[in-house]
Amino acid sequence: MDKPFAITLNIGSSLANHTGSWRNERPVYVNRLPPCNDACPAGEDVQGWLYEGEAGNYEQAWRNLVRDNPLPAIMGRICYHPCQTACNRAELDEAVGINSVERFLGDEAIKQNWQFNVTAAPTGKRILIIGSGPSGLSAAYHLALKGHSVTIRESAAAPGGMMRYGIPAYRLPREILDAEISRIVNMGVVIECNTKVENAEATFGEGFDAVFLAIGAHLGKRAFIPAGDTARILDAVSVLHMTADGQPPMLGRRVVVYGGGNTALDAARTARRLGAYEAIVVYRRTQEKMPAHEVELKEALDEGIVMRWLSTVSRVDEGSVTIEKMALDEKGFPQPTGEFENLDADSVILALGQEVDLSVINGMTEVNVDDGVVEVDGFLMTGRRGLFAGGDAVPGERTATNAIGHGKHAARAINSWLQDQSFVHADRPDLASFDRLNTWYYSDAPKTVRPKLDAARRASNFSEVVQGLDAETAVFEARRCLSCGNCFGCDNCFGVCPDNAVIKIESGKYEINLDYCKGCGICANECPCGAIDMELERS
């Protein structure tokens, strides 16, 4: 008690004063669902793998990616990237080039020969997959990961479905396709080619515990068009299939393609590459109504493909077609005008959509078919217990990415079903919307544009059209990600708290010290990516 004059108390630290008792609200770290993840039909954790990519951890980024989608090098080339359409960064400058980074990772994996590791013990369960398109391959991969023994039967000579026999090689080089399929085969998945399944029901008798129907939609839709005896009419699916087989059909020098989807554009672009100097796409509606994706239309136009909007093919003869002009009625539907025109054409390719060849389920009365596709429940099971279906053969958007998502979901459903578990859908966190971001903290940067091959050169051969990113630009592109709704270790909360109430354990790992947090909310307000919520204290 030896204190100076007038001093009666020992010096103390304000740490004794727990200002946390002032608080009405407390900050809570959250993980929200980024819009890209939300939009990906294959359910990829885009933000999660970009996070690894940002640090240059390419292998880890790839491993995070393939948790959901085993075909990144393919996806990086042919996916219509709805993730980018949803990307929050588009509101700031331009969407993150997710697809090009995905492609870079996929290519890197092929270059480095990264493989899938199956760590699950064999379950002894046998699953048959009918069809080796993206949905079948995806299901096979996810089932093999779980330790099941998987056989794929494929009627064609080589696996891949429409990725091999529809999508042209200039968009998806076959060595890429082969590399990603063989990685799945390396997991022990058996693919039996040239093996058409005639009757799905019969396969249950062979001892398979579950069957996944992934047969796609391969029958080109026909339309009745009056035609002369010598008129040359082909369907797009066959043209593309034959071309993929190395035996392209004779198309002549002037080709008319009838239809407005991606298949029509692929057929027209293929015709150009096969030597036609003129390829005209005839479509009955307008450009706005065209189902083909904008990018593909642009690339087709760049290559000199000519579009005839609001026109139908009314007659085909040797060397010419007659088209009728259409006009939109008040409801926006095309109506015939009675105005005709002749176009020179050595052949006409019909690209009017595809139908599912349902002969494989003939006689299976429990399996319902509606509008030409197989009906499934929320877990992709058909009316026949144990028979699941996905991809183009069931209702939904017909894209490879969607088929991959179906394959994943079917695999999970089959896995639960085999273990006699009830099916459960995982909870989806709330969306990480743009208004939750504090965009001040992001530097503005233009998207790295993929250099494109010169349009003229591109049209004359089957080499790949869109070039990939190099490692340096891939890292830059990944770093443009805003990390919506998920902490990325910027230290802002730790820095901006006036009360030092945020504890930094390491970069990206923080805790709130509730003894001192006054609940001002600055940390939440200054969090760039909206990963902190303020929650009311219960009284």
Partner 1 sequence: MSTPLKFYQVGSFAVGNRLLAEGQLSEQSHPDRTNSLTSGHRACQGCGEALGARYALDAAMAATDGKIVAVNATGCLEVFSTPYPETSWRLPWLHSLFGNAAAVATGVAAALRAQGKSDIRVIAQGGDGGTVDIGFGPLSGMFERNDDVLYICYDNEAYMNTGVQRSGATPPAARTNTTHAVGTNPGASFTQGKNLPVIAMAHGIPYVATATVADLHDLEAKVKKAMTYRGARYLHILVPCPLGWGSRSEETIQLARMATECGLFPVFEAEYGEVITTKKIRRQVPVEKYLKPQKRFAHLFGTNGHPELLQAIQAIADKNITKYQLLEADAQEQDTSKESSRG
Ligand X SMILES: Cc1cc2nc3c(=O)[nH]c(=O)nc-3n(C[C@H](O)[C@H](O)[C@H](O)COP(=O)(O)OP(=O)(O)OC[C@H]3O[C@@H](n4cnc5c(N)ncnc54)[C@H](O)[C@@H]3O)c2cc1C
Residues making contact with ligand SF4 (CB under 6 A): 27, 34-36, 46-47, 50, 87-89, 96, 98, 481-484, 497, 499, 501-502, 512, 517-523
Measuring CA to CA, which residue among 241, 151, 214, 222 is closest to residue 373? 214
CB of 55 to ligand SF4, least distance (A): 15
Which of residues 203 and 483 has its CB atom nearest to partner 1 in the complex? 483
**For residue 155, what are the contacts with CB-CB under 8 A and spacing of at least 6?**
194, 195, 196, 197
If contact means CB under 5 to 8 A according to the sort of partner, which of ligand X, partner 1, ligand SF4, none does residue 47 touch? ligand SF4
Site map (CB under 8 A) of partner 1, residues 503-532, x = contact: -xxxxx----x-xx-xxxxx-xxx-x----
Rounded Cα–Cα distance for residues 213 and 127 (Å):
11
Of 15-23, 159-167, 179-187, 395-403: span binding partner 1 (CB under 8 A): 15-23
32 near partner 1, judged by CB under 8 A: no
Q: Identify residues 82-111 at the interface with ligand X (CB under 6 A).
A: none
Q: How many residues does the chain have?
A: 539
Burial (0-12, 13-18, 19+ Cβ within 10 Å), 209: middle
Burial (0-12, 13-18, 19+ Cβ within 10 Å), 174: middle
Q: Identify residues 235-294 at the interface with ligand X (CB under 6 A).
A: 240, 262-263, 266
191 near ligand X, judged by CB under 6 A: no
490 near partner 1, judged by CB under 8 A: yes
538 φψ region: left (φ > 0), alpha (ψ -120 to 50), beta (else): beta
CB of 32 to ligand X, least distance (A): 27
Which of residues 167 and 532 has its CB atom nearest to ligand X in the complex? 167
CB of 338 to ligand SF4, least distance (A): 50
15 near partner 1, judged by CB under 8 A: yes
CB of 533 to partner 1, least distance (A): 12
Single residue of 36, 40, 61, 78 touching ligand X by CB under 6 A? 78
Amino acid letter, 530: G
Q: Which residue has the tokens 């509101």?
A: 91
Which of residues 388 and 488 has its CB atom nearest to partner 1 in the complex? 488
Tell me the site size for ligand X, rule CB under 6 A.
39
Whether the CA torsion 456, 460, 466, 470 is positive or negative: it is: negative
Which of residues 400 and 459 has its CB atom nearest to ligand X in the complex? 400
If contact means CB under 5 to 8 A according to the sort of partner, which of ligand SF4, ligand X, partner 1, none does residue 92 touch? partner 1
Query: 278 to each of 143, 350, 352, how far by Cα in Å?
Result: 47, 16, 20
Q: Identify residues 144-163 at the interface with ligand X (CB under 6 A).
A: 153-156, 161-163
Which of residues 147 and 168 has its CB atom nearest to ligand X in the complex? 168
Tell me the pairing of strands 334-344 and 320-328: antiparallel
CB of 513 to ligand X, least distance (A): 49
Rounded Cα–Cα distance for residues 390 and 388 (Å):
7
479 near partner 1, judged by CB under 8 A: yes
CB of 537 to partner 1, least distance (A): 13
Rounded Cα–Cα distance for residues 122 and 42 (Å):
26
3-state secondary structure 319-369: CEEEEEEEEECCCCCEEEEEEEEEEECCEEEECCCEECCHHHHCCCCCCCE
220 near ligand X, judged by CB under 6 A: no
Burial (0-12, 13-18, 19+ Cβ within 10 Å), 51: buried
Which of residues 106 and 161 has its CB atom nearest to ligand X in the complex? 161
Query: 111 to each of 98, 115, 176, 234, how far by Cα in Å?
Result: 20, 11, 11, 39
Site map (CB under 6 A) of ligand X, residues 29-68, x = contact: ----------------------------------------
Own/partner pairs for 175-182, CB < 8 Å, 24+ apart?
A: 176/73, 176/74, 176/77, 176/106, 176/107, 176/110, 177/74, 179/73, 179/110, 180/70, 180/71, 180/72, 180/73, 180/74, 180/106, 180/110, 181/132, 181/137
Tell me the two tokens of residue 283. Answer: 């479509």
Which of residues 47 and 155 has its CB atom nearest to ligand SF4 in the complex? 47
Single residue of 1, 2, 11, 230 touching partner 1 by CB under 8 A? 11
CB of 101 to partner 1, least distance (A): 13
Which of residues 199 and 439 has its CB atom nearest to partner 1 in the complex? 439
403 near ligand X, judged by CB under 6 A: yes
Rounded Cα–Cα distance for residues 276 and 304 (Å):
11
If contact means CB under 5 to 8 A according to the sort of partner, which of ligand SF4, ligand X, partner 1, none does residue 398 touch? ligand X
Q: Which helix (H) or strand (E) holds 98?
A: helix 98-112
If contact means CB under 5 to 8 A according to the sort of partner, which of ligand X, ligand SF4, partner 1, none does residue 87 touch? ligand SF4
The alpha carbon of residue 189 and the mean position of all alpha carbons in its chain are separated, in whole angstroms, by: 23
Which of residues 99 and 483 has its CB atom nearest to ligand X in the complex? 99
If contact means CB under 5 to 8 A according to the sort of partner, which of partner 1, ligand X, ligand SF4, none does residue 442 touch? partner 1
Single residue of 196, 222, 298, 457 touching ligand X by CB under 6 A? 196
477 φψ region: left (φ > 0), alpha (ψ -120 to 50), beta (else): alpha
Tell me the two tokens of residue 499. Answer: 């009360």
Rounded Cα–Cα distance for residues 253 and 251 (Å):
7
Of 6-14, 125-133, 433-441, 507-515: span binding ligand X (CB under 6 A): 125-133
If contact means CB under 5 to 8 A according to the sort of partner, which of partner 1, ligand SF4, ligand X, none does residue 438 touch? partner 1
Neighbours of 384 (CB within 10 A): 19
Residues that bind ligand X (CB under 6 A): 78-80, 130-136, 153-156, 161-163, 166-167, 196-197, 214-216, 218, 240, 262-263, 266, 357, 360, 391-393, 398-401, 403
